[in-house]
Each structure stands twice: as structure tokens, then as C-alpha cells.
């Protein structure tokens, strides 16, 4: 929105403020940016491609901008900051708000730091894992046995995943492997694999590759399998936490 927007002044909306943008029954959370280069003028608002698509807008449509509703999971987040254990339902609320864009960078950093300073116990790990899985898309395969592998990560130069996936797939087992980009090391598994082949495949392309080769090695963020993971990884990388 323009820097001299009277709505921003009257409502106390500053740069990077969280807002809700609504168009009819559609709405999306957004982060406010202020423009002074004439890109938008009084009475206009510019939107990101993601917000534009979510709201199904065309140029000239009217939208409403309002303060977001209080986020209930902030209370749960404060519990974790003070070292209290969380239930599975608590993580469901946090991850749901996180994926919906209701968390600012400060809240995200607080959540990641709280989980690092007071490490999750086994039940919390299970609860957070379920919440992250439920927030993303899922892929299913007709074969009876589907295999996977995971490693701790964070060690530069130990790219075992491309080797393991290739061997297992060559032996006839199905291994549709998704990996992340870099968190604390210079390049993640997906980054390394991208020097050899594309890793940002869509769902149809993944199924095609797996049907032909028994396996694949792709970046999970390209198909929204775990959108919460991608958001959290971005904060972990900035904080140098793994």
C-alpha cells in the first residue's frame, strides 16, 4: 500500500504488520509493505502472486483490509517458551496458524527457539510430526512395500541419499524420496541433486519418474507435502539451528 495511505495512518498499520485481505468470502493473511515509488496510489493495493491467486482476483476488484483476529495458538506458544510440554492438539493449532500465514517472523523465531532451548520429548515429537503431516498434501502408491530413508543431516560432504536411493530403486523396491534444501550446511540434499537433475517436480511428474525408475529424489517443498517444514526450515537457517 502507498506510504501516505490514510487507512494505514488511521489504523496504525506500519511496515511488516500482519493484515487480513478479504474479497467476498475469500480471505488470506498477508504482510504489509509500504511503497513510495508510485507503484500503487491512494485507494489501491498491490498483492503478491500467492495472495492474488488465493483471492481469485482480477484488476480493479475491491478488497477489504483489516486487522487479523487474535491467534489462539499464541497462548500455547508462550507455554512452550516457558518450558512447558505441549499436547498433540497444541501442535495442531500452532502448525495450522503457521501454515495459514498468521505467524510473524518474530513468532516463528520464538517457536523454533523454544523447541531448541527446551528440546521436544518423544510425545511432543510425535505430536508435531502428526500436525505437520496433516497440514500438507499426501501421496499414496499402489505397491505393498514403499521404503524410505532418513539421516540426521547437517554434515557437509556426506551425500549418501542419492547413492542409497539409486541402489534401492535398482533392486526393485519403490523409494519416492523427498529431501530438503540447505538448513545449516552449505547445500542440502535437494540442492546437491539439483546440480545433476531437476528436483522441483510436480505430483504428476513424480509419479511418472517413480513408475519408470522405482524411485525419485525431489525437493519436498515443490509439492507442498509439508508446508510447515519449509517455513520452519527458513527460520532455522537464519538462526543457524538444526
Q: What is the DSSP letter of 195?
A: T
Q: Given 4, 61, 202, 242, which residue is catalytic?
A: 242
Cα separation, 51 vs 65, in Å, equals 13
Beta bridge partners of 2: 35
Cα separation, 81 vs 46, in Å, equals 36
Active site (annotated) includes residue 105: no
Per DSSP, which regions of the chain are E strands?
Answer: 18-23, 26-31, 64-66, 175-179, 215-219
Gyration radius of the chain over CA positions: 21
Q: Is 57 helix (H, G, I), strand (E, B) or coil?
A: coil
Q: According to DSSP H, which parts of 82-201 are helical? A: 88-99, 105-117, 122-134, 161-170, 189-193
51: Cα within 13 Å, side-chain hemisphere: 18
Cα separation, 188 vs 178, in Å, equals 12
Per DSSP, which regions of 77-180 are E strands?
Answer: 175-179
Cell of 235: 527460520
- Strand 64-66 and strand 26-31: pairing? unpaired
| Residues annotated as catalytic (active site), given as ranges | 242
Amino acid at each position: 500500500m502507498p506510504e501516505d495511505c490514510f487507512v494505514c495512518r488511521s489504523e496504525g498499520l506500519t511496515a511488516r504488520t500482519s493484515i487480513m485481505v478479504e474479497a467476498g468470502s475469500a480471505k488470506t493473511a498477508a504482510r504489509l509493505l509500504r511503497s513510495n515509488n508510485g507503484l500503487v496510489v491512494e485507494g489501491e493495493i498491490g498483492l503478491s502472486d500467492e495472495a492474488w491467486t488465493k483471492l481469485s482476483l482480477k484488476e480493479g476488484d475491491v478488497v477489504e483490509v483489516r486487522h487479523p483476529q487474535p491467534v489462539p495458538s499464541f497462548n500455547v506458544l508462550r507455554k512452550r517458551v516457558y518450558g512447558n510440554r505441549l499436547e498433540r492438539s497444541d501442535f495442531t493449532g500452532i502448525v495450522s496458524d503457521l501454515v495459514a500465514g498468521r505467524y510473524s517472523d518474530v513468532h516463528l523465531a520464538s517457536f523454533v527457539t523454544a523447541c531448541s532451548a527446551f528440546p521436544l520429548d518423544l510425545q511432543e515429537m510425535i505430536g508435531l510430526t502428526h500436525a505437520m503431516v496433516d497440514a500438507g498434501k499426501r501421496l499414496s502408491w499402489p505397491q505393498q512395500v514403499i521404503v524410505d530413508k532418513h539421516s540426521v543431516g547437517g554434515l557437509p560432504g556426506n551425500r549418501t541419499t542419492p547413492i542409497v536411493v539409486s541402489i534401492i530403486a535398482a533392486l526393485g523396491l519403490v523409494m519416492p524420496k523427498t529431501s530438503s534444501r540447505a538448513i545449516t550446511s552449505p547445500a542440502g540434499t535437494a540442492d546437491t541433486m539439483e546440480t545433476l537433475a531437476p528436483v522441483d517436480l510436480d505430483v504428476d511428474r513424480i509419479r511418472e519418474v517413480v513408475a519408470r525408475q522405482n524411485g525419485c529424489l525431489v525437493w519436498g517443498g515443490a509439492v507442498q507435502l509439508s508446508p510447515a517444514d519449509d517455513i520452519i526450515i527458513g527460520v532455522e537457517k537464519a538462526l543457524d539451528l538444526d
